[in-house]
Amino acid sequence: MSDTSEVVLQALERRRAEPTQLLQILREVQEELDWISPETTHSVAAGLGIPATQVESVVQFYSFLYEQPRGRYRILVSDNITDRMLGSLTLFEHMLKRLKLRRAEASADGAVSVDLTSCTGMCDQGPALLVNNRPVTRLTARRVDEICDLVRGDVPLAEWPADYFRVEDNIRRADALLGSRYEPGSGLRAAIALGRQGMLDEMKRSNLRGRGGAGFATAVKWESCRNAPGAERYIVCNADEGEPGTFKDRVLLTSFAERIFEGMAIAGFTVGAANGLLYLRGEYRYLLEPLEAKLESMRRDRRLGASICGAQGFDFDIEIHLGAGAYICGEESALIESLEGKPGKPRIRPPFPVTAGYLGKPTVVNNVETLVEATVVALQGGRIFAGHGTRHSAGTKILSVSGDCARPGIYEYPFGVRVEQVLKDCGAADVVAVQISGPSGICLTPDEFRRHIAFEDVPTAGAFMIFGKERDLFEVARNFTYFFAHESCGFCTPCRVGTTLMRDALDKIADGRGSRYEINELMRLAELLRRTSHCGLGQTAGNPVRDTWLKFRPAYERRLIRGDFDPAVDLDAALTRAREIAGRDDAGAHIGAEQ
């Protein structure tokens, strides 16, 4: 029996040979075999009794699954704008050169490959990379050289200096959530004392709104799920923190995991769900073992499992699923598709997950931070919770601050804090722009810094990226547009084609060949995407270009040519191959030469 079939068989057995576990099976197999070979694809398909093309559709959808060998060391350099501002691209090029590699191609000896990847959530300690799913932070030229030596010396990751892999929490400002002492189990016991209806009533009183950015009332979601017909319900924790510039869930998952899990159990108790699923982004694979250990210890303490804290009928347990490099899975219905082992393409809505979610069952999908807040509500009661923040935005918000400032990291504030206050606290000077809530969010200029972080003013999932006066906002928008083109799931026409058309128009402008024509096209495409795309990704993909064109026009104008239009196709260059075949290079073989 070959290695491959042995490894596949074991993974199938661990995952009960269920097709819904396809993504998890492939991920586990790849961890052992480094890539998904055609042989692997066929044995997984046979083992699950599904078409091989279904396996291929998953492998080809997720960035971290490889159909080609990518080496024993698979290095992915984080390509968020904040990494770039810290010099990531120079380090990336340097690494390729030192290892004599081309981007994304494995070395001839099959040892190593180096590529770029979307934001890895280490913006406060970048530039960062992932090597075989493990983050290396605070890259410098020296560190990159050392890594190249370790790779060339075939040194196992376990023997690399531990300091490379050190990930700091960087909590700079703590408030009601991060600053409070929490006794394990206290949230659960408080919820049990309140009872299922009592807990829901407190949630209503709290006015807690979803922290993933959309701000939907959490109590309404919970109640809709509870009231939806069906015997089985699910609580899903969305830990697919993919919005570039966001890393607050990383910190919660690292240092507040028990409170997340207790929040999930409280949600389960309130809506009558016995099963919880935590969807962890592939970039946070390194947190899987600590999180599993935490779950195990909670089961031992009867804080998970049957009759939680001794309460009859309060049964709840949690399973962790890993993503594999797909931003779109942060969209709740795409996340559910991914949980079911499929490509993460957003579903048609309605129906919404609260009535037809995971496996078609009523499902609550909440952000990590929202679930931790639920423990605060259980402990304090809804009225006290609602007393913080603003009238329409109760409680506090955790911000992920990165970019041009002295103290990047995690800042928790009551809702309503002004942007300028955050800038002052993190030591940012000469700021020209702040991108709130990532590329899909909004770009603010200094005249807007008195605005408030709140659902009714500037809503945010948490990202707070700062750009100083040296920064080129055109390049920021181009980086974001590349991100969307890379992360579009491809399902709907406007997003699949439109994000690529926008990217190409920006490249033409960057090349110094763009005119007002390209600007008009970009604005037209941004509007089309906003109005016709299937989900939020496409609907917001045009925002960075639209915002920066409105607010940072000189960054574009200095690149534009004066004429009306410069053709994208260079006719003379298009004849290169024909000239080669004809063996000619005289004036008559060139277009435009006679003028």
Partner 1 sequence: MSGTETAIVVDEIPVPFKPGQTILEAALEAGVYIPHLCAHPEFAPHGSCKLCTVIVNGRNASACTLKAAAGQEIEVDTPDLHAYRRTLVQMLFVEGNHFCPGCEKSGNCQLQALAYDSEMMTPHFVEFYPHRPVDASHPDVLIDFNRCIQCELCVRASRDVDGKSIFALVGRGMASHIVVNSPSGKLGDTNFSVADKAAHVCPVGAILIKRVGYAVPIGERRYDLEAISEEASRCAGEEVR
Q: Footprint of partner 1 on this chain (CB under 8 A)? A: 42, 51-54, 56-57, 60-63, 326, 343, 348, 485-494, 496-501, 504, 524-525, 528, 531-534, 568-569
**Do the Cβ atoms of 369 and 462 come closer than 8 Å?**
yes
The interaxial angle of helices 473-487 and 543-551, nearest 10 deg, is 170
Closest by CA to 295, choosing from 312, 316, 274, 273, is: 316
**Do the Cβ atoms of 548 and 476 come closer than 8 Å?**
yes
User: What residues contact 3, with CB distance under 8 A and at least 6 apart?
Assistant: 33
Give the nearer residue to partner 1 in terms of CB position, either 345 or 478: 345
What three-state secondary structure class fits 207? coil
**Do the Cβ atoms of 361 and 232 come closer than 8 Å?**
yes
CB of 232 to partner 1, least distance (A): 24
CB of 420 to partner 1, least distance (A): 35
CB of 326 to partner 1, least distance (A): 7
CB of 62 to partner 1, least distance (A): 8
Give the nearer residue to partner 1 in terms of CB position, either 42 or 579: 42
Give the nearer residue to partner 1 in terms of CB position, either 41 or 366: 41
Give the nearer residue to partner 1 in terms of CB position, either 367 or 488: 488
CB of 516 to partner 1, least distance (A): 17
Which helix (H) or strand (E) covers residue 263, if one does? Answer: helix 257-271
* CA dist list (Å): 534 to 234, 437, 438, 489, 501: 25, 20, 20, 10, 17
What three-state secondary structure class fits 216? coil
**Do the Cβ atoms of 474 and 522 come closer than 8 Å?**
no
Give the nearer residue to partner 1 in terms of CB position, either 300 or 524: 524
Q: Which amino acid is at 66?
A: Y
CB of 570 to partner 1, least distance (A): 12
Give the nearer residue to partner 1 in terms of CB position, either 102 or 531: 531
**Strands lying side by side in the sheet with 317-322:** 317-322, 275-280, 234-239, 363-367
Tell the burial category of 587 from Cβ atoms under 10 Å away from its Cβ (0-12, 13-18, 19+). exposed
Joined tokens for residue 435 = 């991108």
Give the nearer residue to partner 1 in terms of CB position, either 237 or 505: 505
Give the nearer residue to partner 1 in terms of CB position, either 410 or 505: 505
Give the nearer residue to partner 1 in terms of CB position, either 52 or 309: 52
CB of 563 to partner 1, least distance (A): 18
Give the nearer residue to partner 1 in terms of CB position, either 50 or 220: 50
CB of 26 to partner 1, least distance (A): 13
Q: Using CA of residue 171, residue 175, residue 181, residue 186, what is the dihedral sign?
A: negative
Query: What is the spatial distance between Cα 577 and Cα 334, in angstroms, rounded to a whole number?
Result: 44
Using alpha carbons only, how large is the chain's radius of gyration in Å? 25
User: What residues contact 10, with CB distance under 8 A and at least 6 apart?
Assistant: none
CB of 219 to partner 1, least distance (A): 25
Closest by CA to 83, choosing from 406, 477, 400, 402, is: 402
Give the nearer residue to partner 1 in terms of CB position, either 85 or 339: 339
Query: What is the spatial distance between Cα 92 and Cα 108, in angstroms, rounded to a whole number?
Result: 19
CB of 564 to partner 1, least distance (A): 16
Joined tokens for residue 449 = 């810094």
CB of 486 to partner 1, least distance (A): 7
Long-range contacts of 355-361 (CB under 8 A, 24+ apart): 355/224, 355/225, 355/228, 355/229, 357/234, 357/236, 357/333, 358/234, 358/236, 358/277, 359/20, 359/234, 361/230, 361/232, 361/233, 361/234
Give the nearer residue to partner 1 in terms of CB position, either 230 or 351: 351
CB of 54 to partner 1, least distance (A): 6
